[in-house]
Structure 1
């Protein structure tokens, strides 16, 4: 029987929930949730959920919701195993909103509001007769109670509530239903999204993302992040339908998670992809918002070498599985930005035909022929991006990095191919006369626990290791710009990829006007057409007609 609930009076329409076939809810006795993935020692309980994906977490109640893979044992079979674990208080089916697939948890608590002139003693007697224990007579309404059904009542709590609501002396009655709260917030440390105070200093060098969120948060758009592994179990990527078409093109599987066992430190392990994905589209429900928090994430793990067939397959997968935007924070190796004489600065790396054709496939067939929008990080070598056949491919968007004072980041590549800039990290460098930055870099999602850039130090982000405060490079600038494109497509989905690129030139602030050396065409080798302004980009997209792009 379909559970029904009614948040209004008996004369108002209620709503139905349906039982999910692949979601399971687990509640532990200990409270904080299931100790898994973050620790080095697995428990039998955590091993039982190794193949499942965490989609929602309610730590205050010790409740977590997991999505089981299609080829796994059923929810009923998994429930029998989990119920036998001594640390599990309850495991069972999950109800979802039929329209969105969003998990809706029910407790065995019921809210009841009797009519105002009912005798309070009779109200209590009615609840007692229904087998309910009064937990609290609430103070915000007359004759209103929060009551508990016996443990083990399960979904029968809906029947109890509806039976009470049918009484003439009951005005409102419904089970306690809990959905995942979604603040979709920009957090105080995220100076690249809005004006912030970091370390007591005001930082105003952002991409105007907070203002754009008043118009759109990127709903309806899918961003493919082609990179190393992505921690898709992170709470900032939770929610029904957030992660779509995950793929590991290197191993040929649908598991894009990091696959290293040495994930601590700035250059170790599959850490990069999680941070990039966070900059682009983290939910903003726990500790970090992406530029487009309501966009879907298509994580594509690429751990193969430059020019590999797997590299080409990444673009094909993205285009054939519904990606709107493709973010690529990788390319040929950079020279040392602090060594002007590094011979690598002059090396030219061509774009392989296999990769170019796969990119053109995405640019022409993606989005039902409108073309996927492809963005590349310009590079971190303080050298010419024009030597990089990937980022300088004319049909993609090369993104440079600018810092927390609105100037070029010291490492950022430059050249004719640079199309725009987005806020990122920086370094002070005395030999170049380059001052120290105001911040450590970009605050974003990190792999959970000890793996990742932050092993669990507040100085590096947070004590749990879920976030990092120092991500950066054009690696961060690229997914930031990809998020801006997602905001544009959210309000104007019929834009072609060429039109998007053209409209971005109208969406930039001409930062550093003296040092930028902007030409008559409004373009700078350091910043392209300037630092992206997300609100301006959304507005030009809203106002854009389908006219021929400027070539």
Structure 2
């Protein structure tokens, strides 16, 4: 969660002052970016405390949404957190030419508010946000913003299933790495396929409260970030945290999805990674545990010549236990059918063996009769001759083929449940 730091200039901040606080717009050259795309046609789901669509900078941008806390209104935001995230993503300003107030990185994207907790110190249960994630997917959201960490540190099975559901339905899932400064990315950000986000300051240095470690994907501004906040008298606040950074990455994903609508979620993430940069941090090798694959660059994400790459997510994919169970069930069914087939084959072999035995017995009887007729002279049909004749019979069971012949070709690399290195596609040098 972000910690609100009120604007201190006056009780009512001037419009120019508010826009001037948005240092991110300048460092990202957003005017040039908006000439290419503004996120039109893309819905970003904000799973949070709700989003106040009545804020002047958000009017017309916020869909009805849904409340998962017990029948309330998704646009009733008691803490201001969700409204802040939505504004970083899609605020459009207000007044003449929208020159007043704040503006988000994707001002023409739509926000789907999904309220999963109410007050600042309320728990955000996995059951609630997991249901919200599934709802977002079913409502057509192309990006899901999760500016929170799982209660208890680990994501429950229901939460993991929801993330797997989103990834399987071509949705970009973005989540906060955490604000404790620990060398461990929090879940759900740490789950395979999720874009985990840490925070940097104006100098592009990692914020000391930003979690780091294995699994960190991208960095984005998260210090002294302006956002809309109707719970404050000035209607705005400044804050620090990976929540804000997450919203910036979600907005950038929306810009990419608007510019390149035919790209899969994995290919969108690929563009975010390939266009990121370590900026002034020399000697880092991606993925770095403090900076991931680098700091996002929205303009480069929509303008750089980056091959689409594979359709799969370069950060991996979380597998659903349901699909695993189904596959296991199919395998069990196939095994049962194989057993039935083997059983049938065995029955046939038994019948053939019985017939062969009858033939052998008949031959023996014939030999004995002839032997008796011949007085046991050792001529044709004698014991030695019979023995030689029996040896010519093939064995009742052929040797089983070696197991190696039934293994089939080895699975292709894409079938292994690992997280491929996005840099295997010859990306541009980090730090450009």
TM range (shorter): 0.5 to 0.7
1:394 aligns with 2:160: no
**C-alpha separation between the residues in 2 aligned to 1:272 and 1:232?**
13
**C-alpha separation between the residues in 2 aligned to 1:535 and 1:308?**
35
Higher helix share: 2
Q: Which runs of 5+ in 2 are unaligned?
A: 1-17, 315-419, 421-432
In our comparison, the structure showing a higher alpha carbon Rg is 2
TM-superposed deviation, 1:331: 0.8
Query: Within 5 Å, which residues of 2 pair with 1:32-431?
Result: 187-194=19-26, 206-239=27-60, 242-258=61-77, 260=78, 270-284=79-93, 285=98, 286-303=100-117, 305-332=123-150, 349-365=153-169, 371-386=170-185, 388-425=186-223
When residues 228 and 475 of structure 1 are mapped into structure 2, their CA distance, relative to the original with a 3 A threshold, is: same
* 8 A Cα contact 1:224 1:326, kept in partner: yes
**C-alpha separation between the residues in 2 aligned to 1:328 and 1:467?**
21
**C-alpha separation between the residues in 1 aligned to 2:88 and 2:258?**
17
1:487 aligns with 2:255: yes
Q: Once superposed, what is the RMSD of the aligned Cα atoms?
A: 2.3
TM-superposed deviation, 1:389: 2.8
Query: Within 5 Å, which residues of 2 pair with 1:486-525?
Result: 486-514=254-282, 518-519=284-285, 522-525=286-289
**C-alpha separation between the residues in 1 aligned to 2:153 and 2:312?**
32
**C-alpha separation between the residues in 2 aligned to 1:319 and 1:476?**
22
When residues 216 and 305 of structure 1 are mapped into structure 2, their CA distance, relative to the original with a 3 A threshold, is: same
TM-superposed deviation, 1:540: 4.3
* 8 A Cα contact 2:155 2:187, kept in partner: yes
* 8 A Cα contact 2:38 2:107, kept in partner: yes
Secondary structure of 1:355 counterpart:
helix
TM-superposed deviation, 1:481: 0.7
Shifted more, 245-254 versus 228-237: the winner is 245-254
* 8 A Cα contact 1:491 1:541, kept in partner: no
| TM-score normalised by L of structure 2 | 0.63
| CA displacement 1:253-298 (0-9 Å, x = unmatched) | 453312x4xxxxxxxxx12111111111111333101110000011
Picking from 435, 441, 445, the partner of 2:228 is 445
Picking from 503, 519, 526, the partner of 2:290 is 526
Q: What's the counterpart of residue 365 of structure 2?
A: none
Q: Which runs of 5+ in 1 are unaligned?
A: 1-185, 195-205, 261-269, 334-347, 366-370, 426-440, 456-464
Secondary structure of 2:44 counterpart:
strand
Structure with the bigger RCO (C-alpha within 8 Å, sep 6+) is 2
Higher strand share: 1
| TM-score normalised by L of structure 1 | 0.50
1:538 aligns with 2:302: yes
Deviation beyond 4 Å, 4+ runs, structure 1: 540-543, 545-550
| CA displacement 1:349-392 (0-9 Å, x = unmatched) | 22111011112112213xxxxx1111001111110234x23110
Q: What's the counterpart of residue 466 of structure 1?
A: 235
* 8 A Cα contact 1:302 1:314, kept in partner: yes
TM-superposed deviation, 1:539: 2.1
* 8 A Cα contact 2:264 2:311, kept in partner: no
**C-alpha separation between the residues in 2 aligned to 1:293 and 1:192?**
14
| CA displacement 1:286-319 (0-9 Å, x = unmatched) | 3101110000011111116344421211101111
| CA displacement 1:65-98 (0-9 Å, x = unmatched) | xxxxxxxxxxxxxxxxxxxxxxxxxxxxxxxxxx
